[in-house]
Amino acid sequence: MHSIIHNVLMRLAVPTRLRLMTQVKAQQHWDSSKIQPYQESRLRKMIRYCWNNVPFYRTHWQQHIASPDAIQTLADLQKLPLLTKADVRMHYHSLMTTQSNVRVSQARTGGSTGQPVLFAITPFDEELGWALMYSGWYRAGYRIGHPFLVVGGESIGVGTGDRRTWKDFVVNRWVTSGSNLSRERVQLLAASPAFKKIRFIYGYPNAVRELGEWLVALGSSPPPDLRGIVCTAEVMLPEVRQRIKQLYGSVPVLDQWGLNDGGLQACESTAEDGFHVGFQRSILEIVDDAGQQIFTPQQTGRAIATSLTNFAFPFIRYETGDMVHWKSFEPSPSGVHWPRLGPIDGRTGDVIYLSNGRCITMPGLTLVMRWIDRLWQYQFIQTGPDAVTVRLDFGTEKALSETEALSFLQEKIGRDINWTVLFAPVEFTLNGKLLVIRNDWLRQQNLTRPTVSPSATA
């Protein structure tokens, strides 16, 4: 079906999303002189709303402010205590709005920092999130109604097919698993008529790279009309970006960062000069160990999110778990004037490579593991060609037996893996990082990928 028809269908199906996207794109030239009053006006409204309608916050703030009037500016946020992931888990119900007229839908984070979180969201906040995402995609060449491929999602151990929903049809989206890549799956994808029409790719960086490696091994080419690629959900290392460019030709390859729970979103421009931070949905603070705001470029601190539009489950001074730094507050030559972040020191991990040629990337695992209730942290450690040890940390309670955990892993991820389950804390690197996937097997061989090419597994 022609892209124009999908454009019309989208305008009928998601008018709010496209209206908000138009607004966001029109605001790309805004600098701090416009952004700060915009955010402060909405911050005052949100703080008063939380004081009156979110039980947790009045208790949480009582030793810090006497009334919501104490918070008038972005700097005033420093008067408030931080909200941790542990707070969200323990006080889920009292963090929900008491306003019965607020439409609410349940949501879960992928737990890409190793800690899944259950929360709630409003339809407007969700549509604004999509609008901000689309505006970033536009910088890489995406256009409403054009066919695009998502290399990602939750399908890990479910075979070679990817079922298409009516929503996929409306937005002209095609999906292939970013965490179940194999010779057979890529062969089917490359042979499909839809693949040759793809104009834009969105996916996990390691998965997009592995898809490209398979295409080369199979003697197939990328879509001929491909205009750009945006990567998400894990840190895109410079060498991965460079390899993606080599595999897919001279198209823009941009990186995106976001957290749906806190509402933070940022995307590069084609200048690749930092992540432009969206300001419409959430406030980003970068704070030091004392919780004080940092504005000095290159000084790393913790990323703290404050919701401006999620009135169902507001996150106020929320510890996201990511470490970031400001790169610049000056306008970019690309024409986007929003403040920019430098490289994200956050969600990262290796790739699991199996002897049958299948590879599993980190973000897809996080989408599966979020469905395990009361799981605090987790980690996958590959110890051999088909051997993986999983560390599950439930804190003080053990919500699954070993048999139940093995059954879950086999059903959701694969029976082609020799699983070992340990109910134990995760292991951090020497500099305190958590690798959600850690490939000890390859490290012992001083490798980052198997030396055997994908075609050799045929």
Tell whether 324 and 366 lie within a shared domain.
no
Question: How far, CA to CA in Å, does 83 sit from each of 40, 203, 321?
Answer: 20, 30, 11
| Alpha-carbon gap, residue 67 to 170, rounded angstroms | 47
Six-digit token string for 219 = 């003697």
Q: What is the mean pLDDT of the chain?
A: 90
Span between the terminal Cα atoms of the chain, in Å: 34
Nearest to 32, CA basis, from 328, 381, 287, 311: 328
Same-domain pairing of 59 and 75: yes
Longest dimension (CA), the chain: 68
Together in a domain, 83 and 131: yes
Residues 422 and 330 placed together within one structural domain of the fold: no
Q: Residue 129 and residue 278: Cα distance in Å, rounded?
A: 10
| Residue at a domain's end among 347, 376, 410 | 347
Read off φ and ψ for residue 73, nearest 5 degrees: -130, 170
247 and 385 part of one domain: no
Do residue 213 and residue 250 come from a single domain?
A: yes
| Domain CATH for 227 | 3.40.50.12780
Q: Which domain holds residue 313?
A: 1-347
Specify whether 367 is located in the same domain as 342: no
The pLDDT assigned to 222 comes to: 96
> What is the CATH number for 398?
3.30.300.30
- 165: tokens are 């929903």
Q: What is the pLDDT of residues 125-149, one digit of tens each?
A: 999 999 999 999 999 999 999 999 9
Range among 38-42, 99-103, 157-161, 236-240 with highest mean pLDDT value? 38-42
Q: Are residues 356 and 343 in the same domain?
A: no
- CA-nearest of 207, 254, 188, 252 to 226 is 252
What pLDDT, in 10s, does the model give residues 53-92? 999 999 999 999 999 999 999 999 999 999 998 899 899 9
Phi/psi at 42 (nearest 5 deg)?
A: -75, -30
Q: Tally the domains of the chain.
A: 2
Model confidence pLDDT, tens digit, residues 310-358: 999 999 999 998 889 999 999 999 999 999 999 987 666 788 999 988 8
Predicted TM-score of the model (pTM): 0.85
Rg (CA), the chain: 22
pLDDT for res 452 = 56
Burial label, 7 (beta-carbon count in 10 A; 0-12, 13-18, 19+): middle
Check whether residue 191 and residue 42 sit in a common domain.
yes
**Apex CA 13: angle with CA 16 and CA 146, to 5°?**
95
What average pLDDT score do residues 363-381 get? 85
Residues 343 and 434 in one domain: no
pLDDT digits (tens, 9 = 90+) for 169-228: 999 999 988 777 888 889 999 999 999 999 999 999 999 999 999 999 999 999 999 999
Q: Are strands 387-393 and 418-423 parallel, antiparallel or unpaired?
A: parallel
